[in-house]
Structure 1
Amino acid sequence: MNKITIIGAGRVGETTAQILAEEELCREIALMDVREGVPEGIALDILQMAPFFEFDCAISGSNDPQILRDSNLVIVTAGLPRKPGMSRSDVLEANVRIIDGVTDQIMQYAPDAMVLIVSNPVDTLTYRVAQRTGWDRSRIFGQAGVLDASRMASFIAQETGFSALDITTMVLGGHGDTMVPVPRFCTINGIPISHFISAERIEAIMERTRQGGAEILALRKNSSAYDAPGAAVAAMVDAIVNNRRRLLSCVALLEGEYGESDIAMGVPCVLGERGMESIVELDLNPRERADFDRSTSAVRADIERLRSLSLP
């Protein structure tokens, strides 16, 4: 991939840019932000890491949306962060107005790019960008399940003492309090986690996963998580850039999968050089289906709120 632009040079945007540079996942990284001097300063700071981490991609920053030109992928992290005690949905009204403006700039200056949404509430905003652009769903997707799954894996590693490298997890649904960790599809080197962890402890891990972001926000007080989110975005970018066709839980537009349409939700997706190439449908048991339906209802409630706002 030649050029990736990150819109929003906050902590998540900066961490993402740093990891993309260190991993040399493109030849050029552009940072765009409305704050004067901030994206240029971050770009310069990351460039000065190059001798230590031995990368040589070009990095630049600007307030001018023309920096989007020739982007192959645009990563959107812009928006107001939530504060302690707030849900991701609480920032919907403020962030949708920001995202609408960003979407229009992408359509004008990078009409052939893929778009990866990170801003919250990510499910609803991914849906909004897809509706506003009218682009094929393969080009519009969101980051949520990759991060949630990594959080669950880390909690399982802490619980069992096994290496996180051997742990595979799956989290579906909306990126919020109704997300759906699916322990039946979670393993430690192929062995179901139920072999190692009691049902009671698995339930506790599932709940901690749902509250993973809130836990960090409550501890940090003045900042949401940004290290793990940046790494999760980089994992998705790596799958696309290197055409790995990785099976990752991402926010995707559903067109009949899981019995749902006209909604964006976290589901297992195949990520490759064409973006979100396909969706894998899992055979959910009654409890998993009920949890997924509850999560769907929460996302639909946000979409209805979106439709009720006075927006162009």
Structure 2
Amino acid sequence: MKKITIVGAGRVGETTAQILAEEELCREVALFDVREDVPEGIALDIVQTAPFFEFDCAVHGSNDPRILKDSDLVIVAAGFPRKPGMSRADVLESNIRVIDEVTDHIMAYAPETMVLMVSNPVDTLTYRVAQRTGWSRNRVFGQAGVLDASRMASFIAQETGFSARDITTMVLGGHGDTMVPVPRFCTINGVPLSYFLPEDRVEAIMERTRKGGAEILALRKNSSAYDAPGAAVAAMVDAIVNNRRRLLPCVALLEGEYGEADIAMGVPCVLGEKGVESILELELNEREQADFTQSANAVRSEIERLRDIQ
């Protein structure tokens, strides 16, 4: 991939840019932000780490949306972050106007690109971008499940003492308090999680996963998470750039899968060079399906709010 542009040079955007440059996942990383001089300063700081991390990826920033031109992938991390006590849905009204403007810039300067949404509430804003652009669902998708699954894996590692490298997890649904961790599809080096942990400990991990972002926000006080989100975005970019066809939980537009349509939420996706190449429809049990439907209802209520904001 030649060029990736990150919209929003906040902490998530900056961390993502640093990782993309270090791992040389493209030849050029561009940062776009409306704050005067900020993206240029961040780009310069990242470039000065090149001798240490031995990369020669070009990094630059601008306040001019024309920097989006010729982007193969645009990562949108712009908008207002939530504060302690706020849910992701609480920033919808503030962020919808930001995302609409960003979307218009993308359509004007990078009409052939793919869009990876990170801004919250990510399910609703992914839906919004897809509707506003009219682009196919393989080109507009969001990051959430990769991060949530990573958090769940780290909690399992802490609980069991096993290496996080051997832990595979799956989290579906909306990126919020109604997300659906699915322990039945979680394993430690292929062995089901239930072999190692009793049901009450698994339930505790599921609940901590749902509150994972809020836990960090409460501890940091003046900042939400950005290291793990940046790494999660980079993992998705790696799958696309290297056409790995990885099975990852991503926010995708549903067209009947899991009994849902006209909605965007987290499901297992095959991620490759064309973006979301397909969606895997797991056979959920009664409880899992009920939880997924509840999560879909929560996302749909946010989508309904979009009509009031317009």
Work out whether the TM-score is over 0.5. Answer: yes
Which residue in the other structure is 1:149 paired with?
149
Secondary structure at the aligned position of 1:137 is classed as: coil
User: Shift of residue 307 of structure 1?
Assistant: 1.5
* 1:120-158 C-alpha deviation (Å, 9 max, x unpaired): 000000000000000011000000000000000000000
Secondary structure at the aligned position of 2:25 is classed as: coil
Distance 1:228 1:176 in 2: 16
User: Shift of residue 56 of structure 1?
Assistant: 0.1
User: Shift of residue 99 of structure 1?
Assistant: 0.1
Secondary structure at the aligned position of 1:249 is classed as: strand
Which residue in the other structure is 1:5 paired with?
5
Which residue in the other structure is 1:184 paired with?
184
Q: Provide the aligned C-alpha RMSD in A.
A: 0.3
2:127 corresponds to which letter in structure 1?
Y
How does 1:54-133 map onto structure 2 within 5 Å? 54-133=54-133
Which residue in the other structure is 2:53 paired with?
53
User: Shift of residue 308 of structure 1?
Assistant: 1.8
Which residue in the other structure is 2:239 paired with?
239
* 1:227-283 C-alpha deviation (Å, 9 max, x unpaired): 000000000000000000000000000011111110001000000000000000000
User: Shift of residue 294 of structure 1?
Assistant: 0.4
Distance 1:253 1:193 in 2: 30
> Runs of at least 4 residues of structure 1 off by over 3 A?
none
Which residue in the other structure is 2:288 paired with?
288
Which residue in the other structure is 1:35 paired with?
35
Distance 1:135 1:58 in 2: 29
1:246 corresponds to which letter in structure 2?
R
Distance 2:207 2:74 in 1: 32
Distance 2:134 2:233 in 1: 23
* 1:23-57 C-alpha deviation (Å, 9 max, x unpaired): 00000000000000100000000000000000001
State yes or no: 1:205 paired with 2:187. no
Distance 2:136 2:301 in 1: 24
How does 1:127-276 map onto structure 2 within 5 Å? 127-276=127-276
- Normalising by structure 2, report the TM-score: 1.00
- Normalising by structure 1, report the TM-score: 0.99
Which residue in the other structure is 1:20 paired with?
20
* 1:171-194 C-alpha deviation (Å, 9 max, x unpaired): 000000000000000000000011
Distance 2:188 2:19 in 1: 27
Distance 1:54 1:163 in 2: 28
- Runs of 5+ unmatched residues, structure 2: none
Secondary structure at the aligned position of 1:6 is classed as: strand
2:98 corresponds to which letter in structure 1?
I
Q: How many residues align?
A: 310
Distance 1:145 1:269 in 2: 10
1:218 corresponds to which letter in structure 2?
A
Distance 1:102 1:169 in 2: 33
Percent identity, aligned pairs only, is 83
Distance 1:20 1:288 in 2: 35
Which residue in the other structure is 1:303 paired with?
303
